[in-house]
Amino acid sequence: MNINVGSASPVSSAADSIRDLVLQRIEPAVAVRMPAQALTVRIEELVSAIANERRVLMNSAEQRGLTNDIVNDMIGLGPLEALLQDDTVNDVLVNGPNRIYVERRGKLELTPLKFRHDAHVMHVIQRIASSMGRRIDESSPMLDARLADGSRVNIIIPPLSLRGPCISIRKFARDVMEFSRFVDVGTLSADLARVLEIAARCRLNIIISGGTGSGKTTLLNALSRTIDVGERLITIEDAAELQLQQPHVLALETRPPNIEGQGEVLPRDLVRNALRMRPDRIIVGEVRGSEAFDMMQAMNTGHNGSMSTVHANSPRDALARIENMILMANTNLPMAAIRAQMASALDLIVQIERMRDGVRRVTYVQEIAGAEGDMISLGTLFSYHYAGENPDGSLRGVFEPRATRPRFYNRLEYFGLGDAFMKALGGNVEKRT
């Protein structure tokens, strides 16, 4: 009898029978202490021996496939392990045991991989939770965690999930993209890349706005590469994703409550503490709550060059979200005072979007031009204009600059980059009236 045991978990009764017998003959507590290579050799020997005993016809490739599946179940994340090693995969999405999706090049696709049953998914989930010292069960059916490689994980299980246990993994990027690579893939034009490089180098306060999976953190990582190596940087994140290359970086991470509901550390707590650590810049991976107020305070008190991201669909929506988050801080400030503080603190909003061809593109770069009455004025420096579709389905468009002298031009001149900035915008300086 021939059975198929490739990279996907085998589902035939013969393969499951061999798997069960292997697991009976090797003690799990011993297996987790063995080096991965030694464990693989031992399990491959057992698979071959049991297949011979049961007279199951398996070639060497099929034996290796079953061995890898068993090893991944024992010390890895089962069928997800191969996807985590695949550099073309950005997201792994498990919708119950039988449907595992991945995102490649901005597009979702269904994989042939499967878990054997709900209990198999739960086994992997419990492995993730226990590695973080966390718990997930019916009384606590949601979990945010981080894998050993830094990948971000969200888990939700029944009774909240009606399709069985679900896992969402945002993979940790191993390499930081440079602006030249963004230009190659169409995220930016060369002139727009130059504008953003100068903005970061000249210590402008920048918010990157976009939807889920639009590439905000990737762009923030690229911006950070232009920061001077002599600056002291403090990063604040829920799950560490930033990959700053400077030598003087302190990475702070929030902490969820323990099983007893104690010990939680919020982003706002870390922002406040960071202000006492003599930072040159504070970089918050994402503002999503009351820490927005403390972030604006930091930007207004000498910590120029601070950066963050926010979930929003446009620069104007980003400002509205930040306003609402500041109100969450219970500051009792009037709206006019909040908007005046935001206008003083922020310099640039960069809007990025994942478009229907899967490419992430910067659609707007807008400056905070000031506050007029109780409204914040925005000025467009760059905008993306759709021009059509290519035969291969990719979109055509242009990144159109507007050569208007920005409010922060004096800061650009202070760093000796005013002319270079205006040249990237089109070369002609129009004075604001």
More confident residue, 206 or 79: 206
- Alpha-carbon dihedral 39, 40, 41, 45, rounded to 10 degrees: 100
Identity at 2, one-letter amino acid code: N
Q: How far is CA 90 from CA 66, 76, 121, 200, 378, in A?
A: 26, 19, 20, 26, 33
Q: What are phi and psi of 375, to 5 degrees?
A: -115, 145
How far apart are the C-alpha atoms of 424 and 427, rounded to whole Å? Answer: 7
Average pLDDT score, the chain: 86
Give the model's pLDDT for residue 411.
94
pLDDT level of residue 317 (50, 70, 90 thresholds): very high
Answer whether residue 119 shows pLDDT above 50.
yes
Give the model's pLDDT for residue 10.
39
Query: Mean pLDDT throughout 413-430?
Result: 84
pLDDT level of residue 13 (50, 70, 90 thresholds): low
pLDDT level of residue 431 (50, 70, 90 thresholds): very low
Give the model's pLDDT for residue 236.
93
Answer whether residue 73 shows pLDDT above 60.
yes
In the chain, pLDDT over 90 holds for what percent of residues?
A: 48
Helix (H) or strand (E) holding 180: helix 179-185
Place of tokens 């169409």: 186
Give the model's pLDDT for residue 375.
87
C-beta of residue 381 within 8 angstroms of C-beta of residue 432: no
pLDDT level of residue 383 (50, 70, 90 thresholds): very high
Lowest mean pLDDT among 153-157, 251-255, 397-401: 251-255
Q: What are phi and psi of 284, to 5 degrees?
A: -100, 120
Give the model's pLDDT for residue 28.
64
pLDDT single digits (tens) 346-377: 999 999 999 999 899 999 999 999 888 778 99
Query: Mean pLDDT throughout 233-262?
Result: 84
Give the model's pLDDT for residue 29.
64
pLDDT level of residue 3 (50, 70, 90 thresholds): very low
Query: Mean pLDDT throughout 154-166?
Result: 93
Answer whether residue 5 shows pLDDT above 60.
no
Give the model's pLDDT for residue 12.
56
pLDDT level of residue 43 (50, 70, 90 thresholds): confident
Highest mean pLDDT among 239-243, 392-396, 419-423: 419-423
Strands 249-253 and 142-146: unpaired
Give the model's pLDDT for residue 6.
40
Taking phi over 0 as left and psi of -120 to 50 as alpha, with beta for the rest, 192 belongs to alpha
Q: What angle do CA 29, 15, 80 make, to 5 degrees?
A: 60
Lowest mean pLDDT among 41-50, 245-254, 270-279, 373-382: 41-50
How far apart are the C-alpha atoms of 121 and 382, rounded to whole Å? Answer: 46
Answer whether residue 413 shows pLDDT above 50.
yes
Give the model's pLDDT for residue 93.
96
Answer whether residue 345 shows pLDDT above 90.
yes
Answer whether residue 330 shows pLDDT above 80.
no
DSSP state of 151: -
pLDDT level of residue 264 (50, 70, 90 thresholds): confident
